[in-house]
Structure 1
C-alpha cells in the first residue's frame, strides 16, 4: 500500500516508521520541509539503534529507509496513494483545511484518516465534499511501541472503511479497536481520570509531580506516572485534549481542566520536545532528586482500626506482620501505638471523630493496594 502521511512531527514520524517497517511505501510531508528532514533523520536513528540491538537486520533497515519517500509538497498529485493519514496539530480548522486541499489533489479512491486524539471525526469530515471517505485512526506515542490503535468511524463513514483500517493495523503488528466518535474516544476519555485527578492533587499541594508519579508507579502499577506521561505526550497536546473532552461533554465538573497545563504551555514548557515540562530533560538537566530515606521508630507498635469483617484492615495487618511490625490486637490502641485507619473515600478527621481515636498519632492508609513497596498515608 502507498500511504501519505501529512505532518512530520512526533506522531507523523512514528506512524511513518511503523508503516514503512511493515512493508508499506510511505510518503512523508509537511508544510515545513525542515520537519520532514528532521523526521527522516530521527527514523533513521531509531532503525540504526534497532540494528545495533539485533532487533532488525541491516538489510531490512535499508529496505525500510528506501520505502520512506520525502515530499516537498503535501498537496502534490498522488494517483497511487491509497491512504492518507493526517497528523497535524490538534485544531479543527487546521485539520479541515488539510483534508480540503488533499481532496482536490488525490483520487476519490484514497481513504482519509485523521490521527486526532479528541476532536470529532464527524466534524472534521463534514468539511469535505465526500465525508464518507474519512475515519479516525488514532495512534499513541511512541507509535512503534504503543500497540493499540483506535479506529473511529464518523457518522458518515462508509461501512467498509473501518474493517479495512483494522486489517491494515493488525497486518502491521498492532492491535485495532473500533470505538465511538465521542470526545476523547476510549483511551483518552478513560485517561482523564488519571491526568485530571493528578493535576487536582498538584493544585491542592498534596505533593509534587515526582511524588504523584511515584505513587502511580508503585501503588497503581503503572509504567509511567501522569506527569511523566504528559511530558512524553506533550503538554500542548494534553491541554488541547483536556479542553476538547471537557467541552465535548458539556463542561461536566468531573472533567474540569486545571489552570496548570495552559500556564505551562504558554511558557513553552511542553515536555520532552522542548527540553522542559514538569521535569527537565537533556544533557544539562539536573539529576532527579533522590527520594528521602524512610526514618522513624520501627519498634513502635501499630494498631489497625477495623474488625475481622473488614478485608482492608485484615490485609493491612497481614502486610505489617509480614515485615516484622508489632501489630496490636484488642478493641483500642495502647498509649504508644501508631494508629492506622483504612479510609474508603473518607477523611482521617472523620474516622478520628467516629472511632474516638487519638488525633495526634492517627493516620489514614489507602487499603486498595494489597501488596507492593509503597503505602499512601494521610494525616
Structure 2
C-alpha cells in the first residue's frame, strides 16, 4: 500500500510533479523519436477509439504523420489489445506479448463480476473453444457471443464474450485502427496475428521501472491505478535501494528513477491538444499533477470522455472537431497570449493530421463547471 513516510524526504510540489511527468510524456517539447519508439517509451497509448493514438503522437512527436502509425499497425508491429485497466491500448508487438500476461491477474479478477452469468461454464474449455473460433478466422464480439452461447445456452451471452476476452489475448485486426479507414472490430489472438507465442510475463520490477520512466515520480497507488493491479508494495520495497524517494505535499511517498528528468517547476509548458482518455490523465491515483482540483470531472460526462486541452501543463479546457471548425471550450478565460499559443498549436495539429484541409479554429464560450 501507499504509505506516509516519517523520514525527511524531499518534497515535490504539484508543479514539480507536473513538469516531470510532462517531460517523460514527451509533452514539454516534441520528441524526435519514431512512432514505434514512442509507443514503447510510453508503455502503450489509450485506444478505446481509433483516432486517439494518432492525436496522442501528433502532440508528442516532431515530424509525425498519421501514416507512420498506420503502417506499423498494418505491418503488425503495433496492435490494439485490452491491457491496462481493462481498456484497449495500442502496444508494440513485443509489449503486447509480454504486458498482457503481466496484467492477466486483473483480467482473471474482472471475471468475478460476471460469475452469475457464467454459472456452469467451464472457463478452460471456453478458452479453448474461443481460441479455435478466432484463429480459424477473425470474429466480431457478436459472432463470438453467438457461437459460445450455442455451447452454453443457459449462460449470459455477453458474459461469455467477456470471459473470452479476459481469458485470451484478443487483438483487433486491421483495417480497424488504420488512419482514414473504417472497419468493425474483429478479433483474433495475439499469437495468431503476430505469428509467435506469448512471452513470459516480465518481472514486476522491470514494469515498475518502465512505469516510473513514463509517469514518475509516483506512489505505489499510482502504479496500481495505471496497471489495474494490486499488492505492488513489496515490489517497490524491493526496488527501494535503487530508487530515489520523495514525498508530495500531503506526505505521500513517491518513488523515482535516479537519472529521470525532473525539470524546474517553472519550465514553460506549451499548450497541447490531447485525445479523449489520454494516459496522462488516467495513470495516477492522485491526478492533481495534471488536473487542478477545481477541474476534476470536467473532462468527461457519464461514460463519455472529452478531448482535452492543456494550458501551462494543466487541464484547462476541452475541444471538439467539426465539419468546418475546431471548437475550443476553455474552463476559464484565457489571456491574449494563451489564446494565441492555443491557436498556433491547434493550427499545427490540424496541419499534421488533416493536411490540405483548412478548418477554422474557434473559441467557444467558457465551459461551465456542471457541463
TM-score by length of 2: 0.26
TM-score when normalising by structure 1: 0.26
Higher relative contact order (CA 8 A, sep 6+): 2
